[in-house]
Structure 1
Amino acid sequence: MILALVAGAVVGIALGALGGGGCVLAVPALIYLLGFSPVTATTASLVVVALTSVTALYAHAREGRVRWRTGALFAAAGLVPAALGGLVAARLPDAVLTGAFAVIAVVVAIGMLRAATGEPEPDQAAADTVERAPGKGAAVRAGAGVGALTGVLGVGGGFLVVPALIRTLGLGTRIAVGTGLLVVAVNAIAALATRSGAAQGLEWGLIAPFAAAAVLGAWDGKRLADRIPAETLRRILAWVLIAVAVAMATDATGVV
């Protein structure tokens, strides 16, 4: 119970502060700390992702940091891939899921380290109030990819959505984080809809406190983001993810 509360709080804080990346920690926490199998861990993670992203989305929306039309376009593109990914995940061997997750963790960590060492936006306040006309092709491709990833691995995909919103649509970082949470929430719910059978066998006595702590942590993460530079938070989470990836890759190799 204590492990579930602590792990859930860390996931929620990371998601609320950065809009993505934190939920990548949910699956390894569920596997190695709470004893879930890879398949059930990805399903349980989707529950946590859906609840925490909706909570964090509400907090960002209250401050006008969500572009609903842009987020809806991304989310719509990912609905079918997320649902299909949920069906595929139930048929993959544990070793494959574990190995794939290790790769994703490294990718997320590298992206965070690059973002943490990149040059800051010239005028963040101005960037947060400007939105270019969406490039529909780029938005659809990115949305579909994120949806598939969410469905198979149970991650939110915010670590892909936020950079895509910044680079392809010209959103400022804070607006991209808020808008990305909308995409994450919709994809997680869509993926869960195809896993109703798997959800019935979950240990809700552990998932409930994990999810509750994550929801509360998402609010704290939002406040934390206003006090601590995002670059510092990204570096910390990136190195944690690298350590997790090494552990999971070792486990996957042992299983094989």
Structure 2
Amino acid sequence: MQHVVRGNVYQMEIAGFIGAFLMGLSLGLVGSGGSILTVPILVYLFSIDALAATTYSLFIVGITSMVGATVRAGAGNIHWPATLIFGLPSLVSVYLTRSFILPVIPSVIVHQGNFILTKSLFLLLLFAVLMLLASFSMIRERHEHPEDENTPANGSYDPFPLFIKGISVGGITGILGAGGGFLIIPALVLMANLPMNKAVGTSLIIITANSFMGFWRDYHLHELIDWRFLVYFSTIAITGILTGSSLAHKISGEKLKPIFGYFILLMGAFILFKELFLR
């Protein structure tokens, strides 16, 4: 019996590391969506508590996005003014959310009969809803911002909407440990008139900064972190993002987005069903 259990654990871990590669691959190809898989992978395949998984996710997403951003920066695909306008309020929002909002959520939020809504369950359900929103965003046809390399990268735009969007994305990253690329990229394309290649590169810079800010804010948890596991997982994810970045000029990320969106949709629906009806 022990051999069966141990074999199942190994299979789950292998599936988890494959998921790490796919997460990085998605970030490299389409610049978004991949990081939203990190917390479910950590929770369901590595049995890490949901709250701790958000801390782990911040490190993994941060270092993986940093590698992808470095590759994009080398190709000149970063728009630095938009990075500052969007990124600075986002950073502040991550810090404040991680410092003052997340800690005040009680360990048991609702206890009604046999139903107990714990903090970890709340985060998982919130994460599942975010996955559904991300999937709809990725599946929906975006005629309003086609991938046009000739879109003016330095056109005039109103910085205030970008500033406000940065605050909201920072809050999401702070609570859930997800990068929010599916929100950042459309904002950069529609609000800052960036072509898709620059929007992806700029998004990766913002995700990197937000993730490391959130992870740094969790400094009191660092002594409890399994650093060896983080290095293994992050290395595989980095391999994925380097692979995706090398294929990005051969494969249209916009064509892959709907396919990946349907996968995230199924994952989000699975989490909701499992946590609400199979507990």
Tell me which interval the TM-score lies in, with the shorter structure as reference length: over 0.9
Label 1:201 to 1:90 Cα distance change in 2 as closer, same or farther (>3 A): farther
d(CA) in 1 for partners of 2:57, 2:209: 14
Count of residue correspondences? 253
Q: Is the 8 A contact 1:72 1:182 kept in 2?
A: no
Identity value in percent: 27
Aligned mate of 1:214, from 237, 253, 258: 237
d(CA) in 2 for partners of 1:124, 1:110: 22
5 Å-filtered alignment, 1:86-165, equals 86-87=98-99, 88-92=101-105, 93-114=119-140, 117-119=141-143, 124-127=148-151, 129-165=152-188
Match in the other structure for 1:40: 52
1:45-102 Cα distance to aligned partner (Å, 9 max, x none): 0001110111000100111110112112211011121012223335540111011000
Q: Secondary structure at the match of 1:20?
A: coil
Unaligned runs of 5+ in 2: 1-12, 106-118
Aligned mate of 1:2, from 3, 8, 14: 14
Match in the other structure for 1:85: 97
Q: Is the 8 A contact 2:39 2:50 kept in 1?
A: yes
Label 1:81 to 1:120 Cα distance change in 2 as closer, same or farther (>3 A): closer
- Letter of the 1:106 partner, please give it: L
Q: Does 1:23 align with 2:35?
A: yes
Label 1:3 to 1:201 Cα distance change in 2 as closer, same or farther (>3 A): farther
- Structure 2 length-normalised TM: 0.85
d(CA) in 2 for partners of 1:209, 1:97: 25
Match in the other structure for 1:245: 268
Query: In the TM superposition, what is the alpha-carbon distance from 1:121 to its structure 2 partner?
Result: 5.6
- Structure 1 length-normalised TM: 0.92
Match in the other structure for 1:71: 83
Report the aligned-residue RMSD: 1.9
Q: Is the 8 A contact 2:149 2:196 kept in 1?
A: no
Q: Secondary structure at the match of 1:124?
A: coil
Unaligned runs of 5+ in 1: none
Aligned mate of 1:230, from 213, 228, 253: 253
Label 1:123 to 1:236 Cα distance change in 2 as closer, same or farther (>3 A): closer
